[in-house]
Structure 1
Amino acid sequence: MKKTVLIFGLSALIVSCNQSVKQQEGTEDSTEVTVEANEVKTAEANTAADFNIEDIAFSTADIGDFPFINLPEGLEADKGAIQKKFDVCFFPINGTMTPFEGKLYKANVSAVRGEEYSQRYFEKSMEDYLLSVGAVTMFDGEITKEEYERYHKQDPNKGDSGDIGYWNQRIQVFTIRTKDKGNIYVQFTSNNAGGKLNILQEEAFQQTITKVTADDIVKDLNEKGKSILYINFDVDKSNITTDGKEVVTQIAEALQNDKRLKIAIEGHTDNTGDASHNKTLSEARANSVLNALVIDRIDKARLTAKGFGAEKPLVTNDSEENKAKNRRVELVKVN
């Protein structure tokens, strides 16, 4: 009888322990699920909209002047690197490609002639240097294909030198916040063939366009012998737009103020497209300006018009910015 009671008691104890263990295991499983759910929720909430540059401490390091970084020994920027006074660059803030504007430097990086490129050498050099000057890591990973599809058509430099921001790239982003040079964003990517580097010094846009006046035109004609104007026409046509007519009005006023002035109106284009077509178009545009001045009661005997197409560029046609400079009308003083 005593043996029976003892056996029953041990059995009850074993069952009780097993139930306790199962309850503890069930509790641990529930806790792990809860933590994972919280992590997912945090990641979803942590978007680019949550980013605040003021949360980052100022760096007190001397970082030099734009673009602030000399490449590691044995590496160089390939020809065609972009350096612009003002442009836009997209950086993956919490995985969302976010545009920042300011001074921009973008380059492909390769080994100097006779050297072998090392992916880890480039990455390690960049990481260590940036951290040494107080930079903060903002992102290290890949964006999704969906994110690339969302933003890439907004990037005017897509496909150019130093292009970063594809879904199969590991992108590393660092931010340096300074009191004297503002906010600086650096991103780079690399593989075993070469690297890419982007540096942006954030700055607000400053408008530099001013209205052309008759006084400006007369001053240029008297001091330089010519006045370079950017008169807007309809695309691939000689029709003067409303904005362009305002410039023509100022030309007419300049000629009315000085009855002795005679000018040659010269039309110019960039080198895009067929050369013969460009020359014909530039001549048609020059004549459109001449005819508009005659309508504004300027004696036609004081005017001549000729088109040169892309024969006389102001600057080389090696960028969209330079091509825009070459699409112009020049007034040349004849007497």
Structure 2
Amino acid sequence: MYLRILTIAASATVLLACNSGKKGNTTDSTNTTTTTENTTPAAPEAATPVAKGFDLNAIPVSDKPLGAFPYFELPEGYYNFNKNKIADYDVAYFWVKDHFEKPEGKIFYDYIRAKEGKSYSDLELTKNLDAVITGAGGVKVSEMKVPQDSASVIPENNRLKYMTGYGFIANAVTTTYLIRRADKNIWVQFTPSDDGSSICWMVLETKALKITASLTKAEEMKSELDSKGHIALYINFDTDKANIKAESQPTIDEIQKLLSTNAGLKVAIEGHTDNSGTAARNKKLSEERAQAVKAALTAKGIDAGRLTAKGIGQDKPIADNASEEGKAKNRRVEIVKI
């Protein structure tokens, strides 16, 4: 059961944040100490301290009851425009005063709009949401306009970029909340749209990635290459980069073993992506990743003349990109027998 949203006064404007600085203490003139000629002169008045940066560990742990993910129902008269989009595992960007935190886990994201016959109100909506989130133990960690150039750190092919307000995040006050639990963190973020007709919001529940992939041995690679002429491998890279992650090194080792024990074998290394982001960026990224695999193999002593590398991008999916499972299958490196 989702928590019922209560309508009470809380913060202003869009969700997720709290960036107001604390006022310095003032000293009563009656408590001022008179100095003598032997007393060290008083230090000049200190400048207003800079607001302390975000510290996740400073957020108190909450054990208040929560319903099922994504935890919060909308107030009467409002609805989710895209019918509750959920990604089982991904990374999202949450603004916390001076930078983006990048938690990974299960993500809900959508646009909130007013139903037909209902006038839309940012204030009504955000006060309702603030009440229910803080009532569930949430802490507003940031509430401010995000600097104009900040969104540039979000990769262009991040599929959430234009679904959660990132596209216009610097044009409105973005609010970020964190509910810190003993077993997970729950992030919530709101950004109003440019035209004042909706709010983009997302909820992320952190969780560890369950590794379900298994290592394909060199002998299995050889058998599949002989029978099918190609094999799909799932090599993990840093997000939007061509850096091969350490957990994929054993797969590189098995490809090297395959090539070392089959001296006459020549292969093409093809990079493939899902359809998140632009086709041009995906083509470039897949080319860079294919070249990274080639470079890793030549560094292990494989003759570069036996290898070619090519980026295919999103053009040859092997599964439906409409599902997370399909997208994961499409993000692959294929070894093709030449």
Normalising to structure 2: TM-score of the pair? 0.53
Once the two structures are TM-superposed, the CA of residue 98 in structure 1 deviates from its matched residue by 3.4
Give the corresponding residue for 1:314.
318
Q: Is there any run of 5+ residues in structure 2 with no aligned partner, and where?
A: 1-27, 33-44, 237-248, 303-310
Q: How does 1:46-125 map to 2 (within 5 A)?
A: 46-49=51-54, 51-65=55-69, 67-73=70-76, 74-78=78-82, 81=85, 83=87, 85-92=89-96, 95-103=97-105, 104-112=107-115, 116-125=119-128
1:314 counterpart SS class: coil
1:127 aligns with 2:126: no
CA 1:82–1:60: 2 relative to 1, 3 Å: closer
1:189 CA drift (Å): 2.9
Residues 1:116 and 1:55: Cα distance change in structure 2 (over 3 Å): closer
Name the % identity. Answer: 19
Q: Which amino acid aligns with 2:57?
A: I
Aligned to 2:144: 142
Q: Any idea what the Cα deviations from partners look like across 1:101-135, whole Å, max 9, x if unmatched?
A: 12233332223566543323321221121122222
Which is richer in helix? 1
Q: Does the CA-based 8 Å contact 2:154-2:161 persist in structure 1?
A: no
Question: Is residue 165–residue 191 contact of structure 2 (8 Å, CA) maintained in 1?
Answer: no
Query: Displacement of 1:228 after TM fit?
Result: 1.9
| Residue 153 (structure 2) aligns with | 154
Aligned length in residues: 253
Is the CA contact 2:164–2:200 (under 8 Å) kept in the aligned structure 1? yes
Question: How much has 1:53 moved relative to structure 2?
Answer: 2.7
Residue 152 of structure 1 aligns with an amino acid whose one-letter code is A
CA distance in 2, matches of 1:106, 1:312: 28
Aligned partners of 1:309, 1:202: CA distance in 2, in Å?
29
Instruction: Report the Cα distance in structure 2 between the residues aligned to 1:247 and 1:116, rounded to whole angstroms.
Output: 61
Q: Give the superposed CA RMSD.
A: 5.3
Structure 1 length-normalised TM: 0.54
Structure number with greater Rg is 1
What's the secondary structure of 1:142's corresponding residue? strand
**Deviations for 1:182-230, whole angstroms, at most 9, x for unmatched residues?**
1212121336310011222234567777654224436868999974235
Query: Helix, strand or coil for the counterpart of 1:96?
Result: coil
Cα distance, 1:110–1:330 mapped onto 2, change above 3 Å: farther
Change (3 A) 1:88 1:205: farther
Letter in 1 for 2:182: K
Supply the distance in 1 between the matched residues of 2:313 and 2:169 (Cα, whole angstroms): 39
Q: In the superposition, relative to structure 1, how do residues 100 and 308 fare at CA in structure 2: closer, same or farther (>3 Å)? A: closer
Q: 1:224 to 1:128 in 2, by over 3 A?
A: farther
Matches of 1:315 and 1:143 in 2, distance apart? 39
